[in-house]
Structure 1
């Protein structure tokens, strides 16, 4: 998952379990559940909540969220912005992703202006829309560190709950190597 560095954990696991074939795959925030459900991965670092409850979840740490703003946005130079300060601006993602949002809802604006204002479908499209000044998005801080752009400024966001980063795996996957991996992850990243 973008924004979570797992290299030290994977190295330690490989040293302790050399018989296990370890491959690291990167997922997008929108397909983390798909990788687990279709078996492409045995275990995945995820940001909660997950839309289904068929997984064992090991909460690890809360991750603050930030606002992605165009570098020309009036609030782009602020150190911290409260979510209520963004109400005059367009949220370019599903408002369900930001329950604290009470501003100009993109869904309502888009319904009036279709097809020109379709919601971006990937983080890259969202950031392109942000950079062009169309609106803003709210992302976890780790994701912001992964997607650096000179035309986007990430500003600390007050008034929104952090996202929990967790380790997830299918409940029906009972493998000693998963338990061993989970213990290494908890030792390295903590357990909430």
Structure 2
């Protein structure tokens, strides 16, 4: 059975909005048309994707599975469209994603030396999109910080680095070269606790139920502003903390935190010689650090 990508896009819109009317508005189509397309998709797959009643719409287990699989499939289709359009326009580009604190200059220079006519671009990523840029074709390869969802990706480990806690300059622990996770038990973490499970397991605010809902803080710069204002602390890889040096925050090593792992990632379904050449370059450069 061939899967209609248009129907998949319609399904994802409904799954994300959990409301047929709002999904139809977002897609700029009539709601009856959207409903017919979803019923047709359910008929083709021979499953029910949504539980619907007058008050709500929710995903069935089959719907949850399709949503998980549909997103990377649609992203891959968009990546294909981008590459074909670039080829038709006579462009030969190669884009490298990288997380804050990671310096990719050496590998970029090596690639350019080997391919002077290649248009090499770099793309700064974040915790939220460091693998999305591969799936949707914005980047050919990406330097990622673990953990990430690895499905559909080729991965090669490059390096590890210590993690540090970033504190206000007037904090009681400021000036210490290193601290233990237990020293941070009473602190307010400005991150998802799952990102630092060692802290999560001993945190006072989690144990007592006093942790307040967190505003979404996406960038390193935003996190550091909150730290400097005395609203909490963050745990970052050492290279990120040192890259964003500022006088109103300090950092200290956390002795009993495991290191951050950096990998190079790419679309595992692609058979690109240029991607494989860059993987080799990145591995060589990381070994020579």
Would you say 1:109 and 2:210 are equivalent positions?
yes
Note the 1:111-130 alignment, pairs <5 A: 111=212, 118-130=215-227
Q: Which has the higher helix share?
A: 2
State how far apart, in whole Å, the 2-side matches of 1:106 and 1:188 are: 42
Comparing both chains, which one has the higher relative contact order based on Cα–Cα distances under 8 Å and sequence gaps of 6 or more? 1
Aligned length: 187
- Superposed, 1:50-89 pairs within 5 Å as 50-89=148-187
In structure 1, the partner of 2:143 is 45
1:32 equivalent in alignment to 2:133: no
CA offsets 1:71-126 (integer angstroms, 9 cap, x no match): 01100110101111111111111110001112134794344xx5xx5353432222
**Which residue of structure 2 lines up, in the alignment, with residue 180 of structure 1?**
277
Q: 2 CA distance for matches of 1:72 and 1:105?
A: 22
CA RMSD of aligned residues (A): 1.9
Whether the aligned pair in 1 keeps the contact of 2:126 and 2:218 (CA below 8 Å) is no
Whole-angstrom distance in 2 between the partners of 1:49 and 1:118: 22
8 Å CA contact 1:92–1:119 kept in 2: the answer is no
Q: CA deviation at 1:159?
A: 1.0
* Distance in 2, Cα, partners of 1:42 & 1:106: 40
Specify the alignment match of 1:149 in structure 2.
246
Secondary structure at 1:156 match in 2: strand
Q: 2:235 aligns with which of 119, 132, 138?
A: 138
- What's the TM-score once normalised by structure 1's chain length? 0.90
Query: Is 1:9 equivalent to 2:107 in the alignment?
Result: yes
2:121 corresponds in structure 1 to 23
> For 1:167-191, what per-residue CA distance to the aligned partner results, in whole angstroms no more than 9, with x for missing partners?
0001112200011111111111029
Match of 2:259 among 162, 176, 179: 162
Distance across 2 between alignment mates of 1:21 and 1:40: 14
Larger Rg: 2
Structure 1 stretches lacking a partner, 5+ long: none
Note if contact 1:95-1:105 (Cα within 8 Å) is conserved in structure 2.
no
What are the Cα deviations for residues 35-92 of structure 1, in whole angstroms up to 9, with x where unaligned? 1121100000010111242211110111110001000110011010111111111111
SS at match of 1:173: coil
